[in-house]
């Protein structure tokens, strides 16, 4: 199992920046995949950015060129740098870890952090 805790959310004006952080309870080097998801009111949770176990980033089209996912394996941290924020980025952002055990894939979630983009 792995516990995840997010931080860094808040209120920011359109065009501004925020950096979200996620700390894992164990080594992220041993976790198959790490990702950031978001869920806006009345909408389904969607993946924003993900890192494979090898560190390759993947982004949703809506955030390409604006968001950057990264990790610090020494600190067991995953980050989401968000630039040029738009009102439509407003959502609760969740850190996710995926771990395969045989044929079963387990998903672990943090408690979420609110990001509000508004003037």
Distance between CA 119 and CA 112 in Å, rounded? 23
pLDDT, one tens digit per residue, over 68-96 is 999 999 999 999 999 999 999 999 999 99
Query: With 90 as the cut, is the pLDDT of residue 110 above it?
Result: yes
Q: How far is CA 68 from the centre of its chain?
A: 10
pLDDT, one tens digit per residue, over 16-68 is 999 999 999 988 888 889 999 999 999 999 999 999 878 899 999 999 999 99
The residues, ordered by sequence, that sit 6+ positions from 4 with a Cβ below 8 Å of its Cβ are 22, 23, 24, 25, 95, 96, 97, 108, 109, 110
| Structure confidence at residue 30 (pLDDT) | 84
Is residue 60 within 8 Å of residue 47, measured between CB atoms?
yes
| Structure confidence at residue 31 (pLDDT) | 86
């Amino acid at each position: 199992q792995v516990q995840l805790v997010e931080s860094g959310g808040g209120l920011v004006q359109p065009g501004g920046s925020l950096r979200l952080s996620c700390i894992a309870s164990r080594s992220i080097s041993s976790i198959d995949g790490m990702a950031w998801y978001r869920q806006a009111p009345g909408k389904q949770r969607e993946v924003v950015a993900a890192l494979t176990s090898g560190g390759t980033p993947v982004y949703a089209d809506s955030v390409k060129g604006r968001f950057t996912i990264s990790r610090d394996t020494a600190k067991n941290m995953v980050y989401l740098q968000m630039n040029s924020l738009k009102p439509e980025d407003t959502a609760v952002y969740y850190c996710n870890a995926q771990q395969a055990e045989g044929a079963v894939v387990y998903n672990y979630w943090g408690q979420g952090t609110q990001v509000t983009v508004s003037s």
